[in-house]
Amino acid sequence: MVLLANMGRCVYCDRDSSAEVDHVVPLSANGADDRRNLVPACRECNLGKSDKGLFVWVAELAYRERAKECGASPHGPNGLVWMRDYIDSAFDGVQARIEAVKAELDDEARSTWFFDRYWWLGKNDPVWLWRAWVEPSAAEARAKGYPKLPPPPRMRITRSRLGQLLEPVPPDETP
Ligand SMILES: [Zn+2]
């Protein structure tokens, strides 16, 4: 379920296919080992993120991407100010995708679909086995709408010490 969320793409770079399941809050930082804390990740991002917190990893990823685009590191005071906006917007994107993944995993029809087909696969079975079984029916699943793209979560912009943050709006809150 987690691997095929976000249309089977890594939630961090939103480019490569998911190959692994990552804990957003690392286990080493007492992150929960349950689906509320799991996202699809590519191998490179999972290795790169390692035990880092979300913001630190997204900042590093955004910095690397930008350095690649520029062909040089965006150093200097102006570069750093400019990088902050770049990092903030990358962080907003990742947070929005993580919220969307949570919504997908909370979708009961979607989890029923997975459970009906893969109830016999265990949490401790290797990921390659999961992929080998789940991948072939992913097309069928998409045709039926599972995994389907969830409606975008309602987000609000707040300001903090780190700059702008996008926060999900609780569903019971009236606009
Ligand atoms: Zn990635």
Domain ranges of the chain: 5-168
Give dist(CA 115, CA 92) in Å, integer. 32
| pTM score of the predicted model | 0.71
Per-chain residues with Cβ under 5 A from ion ligand 1: 10, 12-13, 16, 42, 45
Q: Are strands 155-160 and 163-168 parallel, antiparallel or unpaired?
A: antiparallel
Question: How far, in Å, is the centroid of ligand 1 from the Cα of 51?
Answer: 15
What local confidence, expressed as pLDDT, does residue 95 receive? 95
Q: Which residues of the chain have pLDDT under 70?
A: 71-81, 123, 137-155, 160-166, 171, 174-175
Strand residue runs (E) in the chain: 20-23, 38-41, 155-160, 163-168
- Whole-number Å distance, alpha carbon 130 to ligand 1 midpoint, is 19
Mean pLDDT of the chain: 80
Ligand 1 centre distance from Cα of residue 173 (Å)? 33
C-alpha 151 to ligand 1 mean position (Å): 22
Q: Look at residue 74 in the predicted model and tell me its pLDDT.
A: 59
Query: What distance in angstroms lies between residue 174's CA and the mean position of ligand 1's atoms?
Result: 35
Q: Are 7 and 149 in contact (CB under 8 A)?
A: yes
